[in-house]
A and B are shown apart, each in its own frame.
Chain A
Amino acid sequence: MTAPTIQVCRTCGGGAPIDVHFCPQCTKILTLGRQGDYFAFLDMPRKLNLDVGELEQRFRALSRRFHPDYFYNAPLAERRASLERSSYLNDAYRTLRQPVARIEYLLELEGMAAGSAERSGAAPQGGAVPPALLEEVFALNEELDEVRALREAGAPESAWKGRLQRARQPIDAKRAEHEEHLEELSAKWDALVDSHGSDGDRLAVLTALHQRMLERNYINNLLAGIERELAT
């Protein structure tokens, strides 16, 4: 990958490193164009266990520096740059603040997007989800369906609430296990970043993370379905 590493200041024409926000020569705010990524923008390592306090501090400091109020009287290009940098900063902060969004973003950056449903036509990686999980998900969905049918038929709470709670246990356990795996893999990834691990090792961790993210929708959908029944 040959990402650009240099940007040009539109005010003075001087060169600046890609992830610098203000021109080192003339100190003016730089147009947002070929920035690197959210991590680099905030000058943080591409790690999954980010120091959230640090992230917060950087976000606040940059928010102040980019704030459009400070550019009220500035030339149009600078005003626009302040808006663009503020908006990009907000996106970066929102994404990196949440551990799961952070993982998704990292996978995307590393060319392993979790595959959104929006990307039509792409073959679903059905085989990527273990058949045993599909079986389990299917059985639990059927159980949920039966509970719904019972309730529609006017069955008393005693007839279905226990079933719902029993159905919930294995999913809760799976969810906990899932979170644990994400944490383990995140720690592994961070260690590889620190030790400049080999491409092979990095790919192995990213692939495992990608796998885990695929399970996530199933687990969350099931839990949401149960919550919905319990709440109504």
Chain B
Amino acid sequence: MAYSNKVIDHYENPRNVGSLPKEDPNVGTGLVGAPECGDVMKLQVKVNPATGVIDDAKFKTFGCGSAIASSSLATEWLKGKTVDEALAIKNTDIVTELSLPPVKIHCSVLAEDAIKAAISDYKKKQGVTGKTADTHAQPTA
């Protein structure tokens, strides 16, 4: 199967690989997995408490090229967005940007899940009821 140039670029030069301090109250961590292929993806956001804007985002993904590219792209998009804007990112946006083939759509779903999980974790830390975040945390494949 041929990967698109954008996937290869993100795979070979992944952006924002790494981790943020998990205990930081302004950091939200999402850890999700795709049991179908055994992939695991960690995505973290650091929110500026004054502005509510995501200052930094990091990821680490153990999985196929598409899963790595999806999460790499997601961290790029997250930076500079507000928490609510971040929740509006859809897996279909990632599919379009990376020209993912149908068999790799689940990788983009995983990235969207990771964003939702990270934001949900952040909100929980901030004392916002986790419920509002959870209702959003449904993948929209």
- Mark A residues whose CB is within 8 Å of B: 114-126, 128-129, 131, 134-135, 137-138, 141-142, 214-215, 217-218, 220-221
Contact = CB atoms under 8 A, between A and B. Distances in A.
12 contacts: A115-B35, A119-B36, A122-B106, A122-B141, A124-B33, A124-B106, A124-B139, A126-B33, A131-B31, A135-B31, A141-B40, A142-B60
B103 interface: yes
B35 A129 contact: yes
Given A129-B33, A134-B31, A138-B62, A123 B38 contact: no
Nearest to B35: A214
A218 B38 contact: yes
B37 A117 contact: yes
Q: Is the interface of B mostly helix, strand, loop or mixed?
A: mixed
B81 interface: no
B104 interface: yes
Contact of A125 (B35, B103, B104): B35
A212 to B, nearest CB: 11
Contacts of B138: 123
A16 B103 CA distance: 41
A137 B106 contact: no
Contact of B32 (A120, A121, A126, A214): A126
Contacts of B89: none
Interface of B: 31-38, 40, 42, 60, 62, 101-106, 109-110, 113, 138-139, 141
A121 B33 contact: no
A218 B102 contact: no
Nearest to A218: B38
A126 B38 contact: no
Contact of A120 (B62, B102, B113): B102
A141 B42 CA distance: 12
B36 A137 contact: no
Contacts of B34: 117, 124, 126
Nearest to A131: B31
Contacts of B109: 123-124
Among A116, A119, A131, A218: residue with most chain B CB under 10 A: A218
Nearest to A123: B139
Given A141-B40, A142-B60, 9 more contacts: A119-B36, A122-B106, A126-B32, A126-B35, A134-B31, A138-B60, A217-B37, A218-B33, A221-B38
A116 B32 CA distance: 17
Nearest to B19: A142
A141 B106 contact: no
A229 to B, nearest CB: 14
Contacts of B32: 126, 134
Contacts of B106: 117, 120-124
Contact of B36 (A116, A131, A215): A116
Contacts of A141: 40, 62
B140 to A, nearest CB: 8
Contacts of A114: 36
Given A120-B103, A120-B104, A215 B42 contact: no
A80 to B, nearest CB: 33
A135 B36 CA distance: 17
Query: 7 smallest A-B Cβ distances: which pairs?
Result: A217-B38, A214-B35, A221-B38, A120-B102, A141-B62, A123-B139, A117-B36
B18 to A, nearest CB: 11
Contacts of A126: 32-35, 110, 113, 139
